[in-house]
């Protein structure tokens, strides 16, 4: 049975294939927090400590059934991750590298119908960015690396990386990413640290 994905207003809908091998991660990095603030969605994307729950999958397992025209993309900095969202209602969809050649997407939990269907969180990272003290304990880096090398890197060698709904055949994103100015980025950093 496939897993449903949708934006808050329902314009963007998609599915993740049932056979998708997923890695369930909780990330406390300042950049994930800044993305939630950029969208104006910090209260429903971040947990009370500033963590983003992310399900890492291969893009070949993701397909959109409607609303591709509403997808937007941004970068916090010129070299930052591509952060995909639904422009209609500012629902975060996921994060990718700037190139499709290393194949993965970290799907943000708030667009998933049932994030728990991907199993428990097995990896907790970037805990230095968590709110409050003591900081959560970071764990599962080995699990994350095994998933990455066993899936994303393998897709590079098998050619499966070419099957992605977010990049064109030439490896460029299907929409032009908005890159934040230095002042826009600084404003989001202040919001994260507040």
pLDDT digits over 50-85, tens only?
A: 999 999 999 999 999 999 999 999 999 999 999 999
* Backbone phi and psi for residue 163, each to the nearest 5 degrees, phi listed first: -95, 90
pTM across the whole model: 0.95
Q: Does residue 1 carry a pLDDT above 90?
A: no
Residue 73: what pLDDT?
A: 98
Share of the chain above pLDDT 90, in %: 92
What are the angstrom distances between the C-alpha of 135 and each of 42, 57, 67, 132, 144?
Answer: 19, 27, 39, 7, 20
What whole-number distance in Å separates Cα of residue 82 and Cα of residue 179? 9
Query: If you search the block for the tokens 């943000």, which residue do you land on?
Result: 108
Q: What mean pLDDT is reported for the chain?
A: 96
- Name 157's Cβ contacts closer than 8 Å, sequence gap at least 6: none
Tokens for 13? 């809908």
Question: What is the pLDDT at residue 20?
Answer: 86
Rounded to whole angstroms, how far apart are CA atoms 109 and 192? 19
CA distance between the termini of the chain: 42
> Which residue's entry shows tokens 């499966």?
160
Buried b / exposed e over 172-187, threshold 16 CB at 10 Å, is ebebebeebeeeebee
Q: What is the pLDDT of residues 109-147, one digit of tens each?
A: 999 999 999 999 999 999 999 999 999 999 999 999 999
Burial 8-18 (b: 16+ CB within 10 A, else e): beebbbbbbee
Separation of alpha carbons 137 and 32, rounded Å:
18
- Retrieve residue 29's tokens: 């990095």
């Amino acid at each position: 049975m496939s897993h449903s994905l949708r934006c808050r207003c329902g314009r963007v809908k998609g599915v993740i294939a049932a056979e998708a091998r997923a890695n369930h991660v909780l990330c406390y990095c300042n950049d994930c927090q800044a993305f939630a603030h950029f969208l104006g969605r910090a209260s429903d994307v971040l947990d009370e400590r500033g963590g983003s729950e992310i399900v890492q999958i291969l893009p070949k397992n993701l397909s959109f059934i409607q609303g591709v025209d509403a997808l937007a993309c941004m970068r916090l900095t010129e070299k930052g991750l591509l952060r995909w969202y639904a422009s209609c209602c500012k629902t975060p969809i996921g994060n990718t590298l700037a190139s499709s050649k290393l194949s993965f997407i970290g799907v943000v939990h708030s667009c998933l119908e049932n994030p728990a269907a991907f199993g428990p969180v097995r990896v907790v990272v970037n805990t230095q960015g968590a709110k409050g003290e003591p900081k959560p304990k970071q764990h599962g880096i080995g699990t994350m690396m095994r998933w990455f090398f066993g899936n994303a890197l393998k897709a590079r060698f098998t050619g499966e990386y070419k099957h992605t709904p977010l990049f064109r055949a030439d490896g460029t994103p299907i929409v032009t990413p908005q890159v934040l100015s230095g002042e826009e980025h600084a404003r989001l950093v202040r919001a994260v640290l507040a």
